[in-house]
A and B are shown apart, each in its own frame.
Chain A
Amino acid sequence: MNLPNPFSFLERGFSHGVHPPHLKSQTEDRQIQRMPFVAEYVMPLNQHLGVPSKAVVEAGQSVQRGELIAEPGGFVSVALHSPVTGRVKAIADFRAADGNFSTGIQIEADNYSTQAIDANEPIDWQSLSTEAFIAEIQKAGIVGMGGAAFPAHVKFSIPDGSRIRHLLINGAECEPYLTNDHRLMMENSDELFRGAEIIRQKLGAEDTVIGVELNKPLAIQILRQRLPSGQPVRIVPLEVKYPQGAEKMLIKAVYGREVPAGRLPRDVQVNVNNVSTVVAIANYFEKAMPLIERVITLSGPGVTYPANLIVPLGTPIREVLAFCGGLREETREVVMGGPMMGRPVSSLDAPVVKGSSGILAMTEAGLLQKKEYPCIRCGRCVEVCPYFLNPARLARLSRVRRYEEMKGYHVMDCVECGCCTYSCPSAIPIVQLIRTGKDHLRRIKEPG
């Protein structure tokens, strides 16, 4: 039985939400390991949100690790770099994790290369103007690495007349199983602080807060020990609750402010970045290393040896799983991301991309299939929805395809955190029905 914590009002948090089991013990004590290079990589051109990148290499061409292989396709787009020294094998359509084909650059690794990065001169960020800083971030290919993969430089572009006062670093990691941010905060705390300071100075923010859920006491302890002097940075422990890491929930928990519906964090003068993103920014300015690899958690009951790994982008999921001893026979589903918001993987040939925070292999027991029953209007979904929506009603409307009416119930404010489906005793796929409604409404809004 999961009894509520009677003292939770003393901790910083938000209203509603759920308490899924943490399931982090498999990997939280495992040091980040570097995964060896494999034979072939695929870099999809659309691995971030926004406009796909434009390839600037040709098949047959040799590339160095860290070399530019695709330029930004527009403002809401970033550059891509080769994760490995080798030769471009093809530019063609490759299978992505969701099962669709999308254009990607296939690179064959050079077996005899040292895989060292040529230019590792630090970049003098202090002398950069804000505009030049933003351009550098886009050039480095850095996106939000918490899962959404939204280009980071777009978030840093503040329109005239508004300003950022607070920089908020998201170390909540509220998804069960995932420990990649946890380990990064413990092992790369110095890079984290330096990256945060770069962003803070360039955005002209007054202070920095790193928000960490209380179930990561070691990370909180290490960050506090290594707190750099002379920098306005604080560590704020947060209530353990899902979805604490959702941007607007995190702002509510730390500053007690609600971001108005349809607006962005910058409207309350806050800029939120994931821990991994901040470390990637530090790596770029200090080692001139663009975003070509990331830390992911490999976990779940179907993985033979769970681990936290530095994986070059473009590595096929199959190879990552093989490095960890392969899938157990009883694996029934592989998920990219966390168990609450991740996406099912339809092909193991799909690559690890910038937004992949974890790969989970689930077995029958971990999936806990429940039989669906009629809605008994128990109100659990209403009680857990962090946006105070009425998920049961939205699901009911979606079932009978009354999508237009869903708008009146604020369906577009739903962030699809999945708390409703998680808590539904009748096993109604509430958030899935809501996604259907949102997709439909988006499609009729765009003509054609």
Chain B
Amino acid sequence: MQKHDPQLLLQHSPILRHDKTTPGVMLDVLLALSPVTIASIWLFGLSAIVVLAACISGAALTEYFFTPTSKRRRILLDGSGLTTGLLLGLTLPPALPAWMAFLGGVVAIGLGKIIWGGLGSNLFNPALVGRAFLLATFPNAMTTWVEPAGSFWNLPSSTLSLPFTLDELDAVSGATPLGLMKFEQQGTPFLELFLGNTAGSLGETSGLLLILGAAYLLLRGDMDWRIPVGILLTAMLFSGALSLVDPTVYPTPLFSVFSGGLLLGALFMATDPVTSPSTPTGAWLFAIGIGVLVILIRVFGGLPEGVMYAILLMNAASPLIERFTQPRVFGYDREDSS
């Protein structure tokens, strides 16, 4: 027998824990976004690196300076600021001036997350709050798109312009498939949409890589499959019905899904657990709402793209949806468990 008893902990059961951690979830999201990120650098060159880095540093610095000193080290390690910065960057036009991207990162974390009370307390998706701010503040720069450059050393002069100096963007501008569709009723071949060789935001162009990343998240159990499936099915059904009415004006379902930011939004933005309902029925309602709003805005609104506003609107409805979709408790009839 031992000479002395070991000092025993009194940790309460369950003492077994699943090995998944919150920083682990964030790391999975970053890994899932890496193919798209690499593709955006491949397509848009150096300017993509500059814009993404500006967003991430804006997000990380804000997170760092607006956190109590004692928690600073930990807050950066949890990886959620990094994820927000990268997601924001991927929704921006490649030729956006870097200082704007940086400001977007600051707003995303500052107004999108910190003032709500930090990780887990925010109502709206922080990356989309940042993007909405940029779109409202710099509408010109945020809607100037360039065709993929095909050269790594591509760096439009606008990217590095000094703050508040730029009025005109001098990049070779191209129209996004959605813009072409909306304003000129001109389609884009499906294969180009699928592989991503079109004008658009950094991360929204390649459907294939976005789906690959999402598949990884699903396998790791980090994503509620109901949300992307619900959004994409609703969008396809809705736009399918419209294109049956008049195929010359309204886009086909496949075009609707693979153009613009719908895939990026449905797979990586709407699935943000903090801002979506955690009940299964709630997730379906949330997804259907986004799908309907996206097509409504795209087809009947003044803008070519509506994913951002659709998700932000449904974010606002999410707590209410969750409240009314609490599951039936075991051993109760459906009526008396609500």
Are the CB atoms of B18 and A425 closer together than 8 Å? yes
Q: List 30 A-B contacts (CB under 8 A).
A: A1-B220, A21-B16, A99-B10, A261-B329, A322-B1, A332-B8, A333-B9, A340-B14, A340-B16, A342-B15, A343-B13, A344-B8, A344-B13, A348-B5, A366-B15, A368-B17, A371-B74, A373-B22, A374-B121, A376-B22, A378-B25, A379-B224, A382-B279, A382-B327, A390-B279, A392-B278, A413-B330, A424-B18, A425-B24, A427-B17
Query: Residue-by-residue, is A286-300 near B (CB-CB < 8 Å gives 1, otherwise 0)?
Result: 000000000000000
Q: Using a CB-CB cutoff of 8 Å, which residues 287-338 of chain B contact chain A?
A: 326-332, 337
Q: Which of A258, A431, A432 contacts B331 (CB 8 A)?
A: A258
Binds B, one of A125-133, A206-214, A415-423, A440-448: A415-423
Are the CB atoms of B274 and A425 closer together than 8 Å? no
* Cα distance, A374 to B15, chains bound together (Å): 20
Tell me, yes or no, whether B78 is within 8 Å of chain A by CB: yes
Binds B, one of A5-13, A71-79, A323-331: A323-331
Q: Which of A334, A366, A435 has the most chain B CB within a 10 Å cutoff? A: A334
B120 to chain A minimum Cβ distance, whole angstroms, is 4
Complex interface: chain A residues within 8 A of B1 (CB): 318, 322, 326
Interface residue range, chain A: 35 or more
Apart from A335-B13, A410-B329, what are 16 other A-B pairs with CB-CB below 8 Å?
A258-B331, A332-B8, A332-B9, A333-B11, A342-B13, A344-B10, A370-B21, A376-B80, A382-B279, A387-B330, A388-B328, A392-B278, A424-B17, A425-B18, A426-B120, A435-B12
Q: Which of B6, B20, B74, B222 contacts A329 (CB 8 A)?
A: B6
Are the CB atoms of B278 and A388 closer together than 8 Å? no
Closest residue of chain A to B283 (Cβ to Cβ) is A379
Q: Using a CB-CB cutoff of 8 Å, which residues 249-306 of chain A contact chain B?
A: 258-263
* Cα distance, A266 to B18, chains bound together (Å): 35
Complex interface: chain A residues within 8 A of B12 (CB): 343-344, 429, 432, 435
Tell me, yes or no, whether B150 is within 8 Å of chain A by CB: no
Q: Which of B273, B327, B331 contacts A377 (CB 8 A)?
A: B273
Are the CB atoms of B13 and A340 closer together than 8 Å? yes
Tell me, yes or no, whether B139 is within 8 Å of chain A by CB: no
* Cα distance, A387 to B16, chains bound together (Å): 20
Complex interface: chain A residues within 8 A of B35 (CB): none
* Cα distance, A413 to B24, chains bound together (Å): 32
Are the CB atoms of B23 and A373 closer together than 8 Å? yes
A290 to chain B minimum Cβ distance, whole angstroms, is 30
Query: Residue-by-residue, is B111-128 near A (CB-CB < 8 Å gives 1, otherwise 0)?
Result: 000000011110000000
Tell me, yes or no, whether B2 is within 8 Å of chain A by CB: yes
Are the CB atoms of B330 and A421 closer together than 8 Å? no
B17 to chain A minimum Cβ distance, whole angstroms, is 5
Complex interface: chain B residues within 8 A of A370 (CB): 17, 21
Q: Which of A18, A260, A261, A373 contacts B18 (CB 8 A)?
A: A18
Q: Which of B2, B11, B273 contacts A344 (CB 8 A)?
A: B11
Complex interface: chain B residues within 8 A of A423 (CB): 18, 20
5 nearest A-B pairs in the assembled complex, by CB-CB distance: A379-B278, A418-B14, A261-B331, A374-B120, A378-B273
Tell me, yes or no, whether B19 is within 8 Å of chain A by CB: yes
Are the CB atoms of B326 and A390 closer together than 8 Å? yes
Are the CB atoms of B273 and A376 closer together than 8 Å? yes
A447 to chain B minimum Cβ distance, whole angstroms, is 28
Are the CB atoms of A382 and B278 closer together than 8 Å? yes
Are the CB atoms of B329 and A376 closer together than 8 Å? no
Complex interface: chain B residues within 8 A of A327 (CB): 2, 6
Complex interface: chain B residues within 8 A of A21 (CB): 16
Query: Residue-by-residue, is A348-374 near B (CB-CB < 8 Å gives 1, otherwise 0)?
Result: 100000000000001000111111011
Are the CB atoms of A388 and B22 closer together than 8 Å? no
* Given A413-B331, A425-B22, A375-B120 contact (CB < 8 Å): yes
Q: Which of B16, B78, B224, B328 has the most chain A CB within a 10 Å cutoff? A: B16
Closest residue of chain B to A415 (Cβ to Cβ) is B330
* Cα distance, A410 to B10, chains bound together (Å): 28
Tell me, yes or no, whether A341 is within 8 Å of chain B by CB: yes
Complex interface: chain B residues within 8 A of A329 (CB): 6
Are the CB atoms of A387 and B329 closer together than 8 Å? yes
Interface of B is mostly: loop
Are the CB atoms of A379 and B15 closer together than 8 Å? no
A162 to chain B minimum Cβ distance, whole angstroms, is 17
* Cα distance, A374 to B113, chains bound together (Å): 13
Tell me, yes or no, whether A397 is within 8 Å of chain B by CB: no
Tell me, yes or no, whether A346 is within 8 Å of chain B by CB: yes
Q: Which chain A residues have a beta carbon within 8 Å of chain B's beta carbons?
A: 1, 18, 20-21, 99, 176, 248, 258-263, 318, 322, 326-327, 329, 331-335, 337-346, 348, 362, 366-371, 373-380, 382, 386-390, 392, 409-410, 413, 418, 421-427, 429, 431-432, 435
B77 to chain A minimum Cβ distance, whole angstroms, is 9
* Cα distance, A362 to B8, chains bound together (Å): 10
* Given A258-B331, A334-B8, A374-B120, A339-B21 contact (CB < 8 Å): no
* Given A1-B220, A335-B15, A373-B119, A260-B332 contact (CB < 8 Å): yes
Closest residue of chain A to B74 (Cβ to Cβ) is A371
* Given A378-B278, A388-B327, A421-B120 contact (CB < 8 Å): no
* Cα distance, A91 to B6, chains bound together (Å): 29
Are the CB atoms of B274 and A376 closer together than 8 Å? yes
Complex interface: chain A residues within 8 A of B219 (CB): 1
* Given A332-B6, A332-B8, A378-B273, A422-B330 contact (CB < 8 Å): no
* Given A334-B8, A340-B14, A341-B14, A368-B19 contact (CB < 8 Å): yes
Closest residue of chain A to B222 (Cβ to Cβ) is A378
Are the CB atoms of B14 and A376 closer together than 8 Å? no
Complex interface: chain B residues within 8 A of A348 (CB): 5
* Cα distance, A423 to B25, chains bound together (Å): 13
A399 to chain B minimum Cβ distance, whole angstroms, is 13
Q: Which of B2, B5, B16 contacts A422 (CB 8 A)?
A: B16
Complex interface: chain B residues within 8 A of A346 (CB): 8, 10
Closest residue of chain A to B120 (Cβ to Cβ) is A374
Are the CB atoms of A422 and B14 closer together than 8 Å? yes
* Cα distance, A329 to B8, chains bound together (Å): 11
A135 to chain B minimum Cβ distance, whole angstroms, is 32
* Cα distance, A348 to B13, chains bound together (Å): 18
Complex interface: chain A residues within 8 A of B332 (CB): 260-261, 410
Closest residue of chain B to A410 (Cβ to Cβ) is B329
Closest residue of chain A to B22 (Cβ to Cβ) is A373
Are the CB atoms of B329 and A413 closer together than 8 Å? yes
* Cα distance, A410 to B273, chains bound together (Å): 24
* Cα distance, A374 to B21, chains bound together (Å): 11
Complex interface: chain B residues within 8 A of A422 (CB): 14, 16-18
* Cα distance, A260 to B331, chains bound together (Å): 4
